[in-house]
Structure 1
């Protein structure tokens, strides 16, 4: 099985977890009256981030480091969190820019999601590290 299938599958599973988190946080900060806007933010964020995450995975897959698996997962989580939280902040600010305290709310959403999603992402990486889906080709390539 091709590693690309693994990365696509990881991208989809991560987006489900991450989008549900963003949707919940957006409703918590902007209220249920903004259900439609929270849905739009989640839909746009999902579309944008699934593409970005795929390339993030491809880069890390090709990157050879001397990091052990736990340190690698932490490094991946940090790089992804910087990219992803920045994207969420910008999208929330663009969509809710007309609201009172939109800057403050977008900032809090990005900060809280950073903490929550770091933990979720680490657990996601640990799970994917333990399964072999899509790694058959990688193991063959590394064998002389």
Structure 2
């Protein structure tokens, strides 16, 4: 099976967890969010980050570095959180630009979701490390997702 199937599936599962977290944190901190604002945040969050995550996965799959799985998971978590946190901040500022204190709230949303998602992402990586979907030859080729 092609590793791209793995990365697409992995991207979708992470995006579901991450978008639910973003929407929950944004609704709690921002308060008074209209349904259209929340819907726009959800759609843009899914589309933009799904694409970014896919390319992040492809980069890490093709990286030929000899590092332990736990270290790799931690590094991947930090690099992804930097990309995703900045994306969330930009989306929140753009969508809620007419709200008072938008920059401060966007900052808090990005900080809180970063902390939560670092934990969730590490767990997601640990689970996917144990799943061989798309890695039929993992043991033979000594490949790692």
* TM-score, length of structure 2 as denominator length: 0.93
The runs of 4+ residues in structure 1 deviating greater than 2 Å are: 32-36, 137-143
Provide the C-alpha distance between the structure 1 equivalents of 2:25 and 2:33, rounded to a whole number of angstroms. 14
Aligned length: 143
Structure 1 unaligned runs (5+)?
none
2:70 corresponds in structure 1 to 70
* TM-score, length of structure 1 as denominator length: 0.94
CA contact (8 A) 2:96 2:102 kept: yes
1:47 corresponds in structure 2 to 47
Structure 2 unaligned runs (5+)?
none
Structure with more helix by fraction = 1
Specify the SS of the correspondent of 1:136.
Answer: coil
Provide the C-alpha distance between the structure 2 equivalents of 1:30 and 1:42, rounded to a whole number of angstroms. 14
CA contact (8 A) 2:25 2:113 kept: yes
Which deviations, in whole Å up to 9, do the C-alpha atoms of 1:46-99 show, x marking residues without a partner?
100000100000000000112100000000000000000000000100010110
CA contact (8 A) 2:132 2:138 kept: no
Pairing of 1:108-127 with structure 2 (within 5 A): 108-127=108-127
1:27 corresponds in structure 2 to 27
The reply to whether residue 132 of structure 1 matches residue 132 of structure 2 is yes
CA contact (8 A) 2:37 2:95 kept: yes
Provide the C-alpha distance between the structure 1 equivalents of 2:34 and 2:71, rounded to a whole number of angstroms. 39
Alpha-carbon deviation of 1:45? 1.0
Flag the 1:89–1:45 CA change in 2: closer, same or farther, 3 A. Answer: same
Provide the C-alpha distance between the structure 2 equivalents of 1:104 and 1:78, rounded to a whole number of angstroms. 22
RMSD (Å), alpha carbons: 1.5
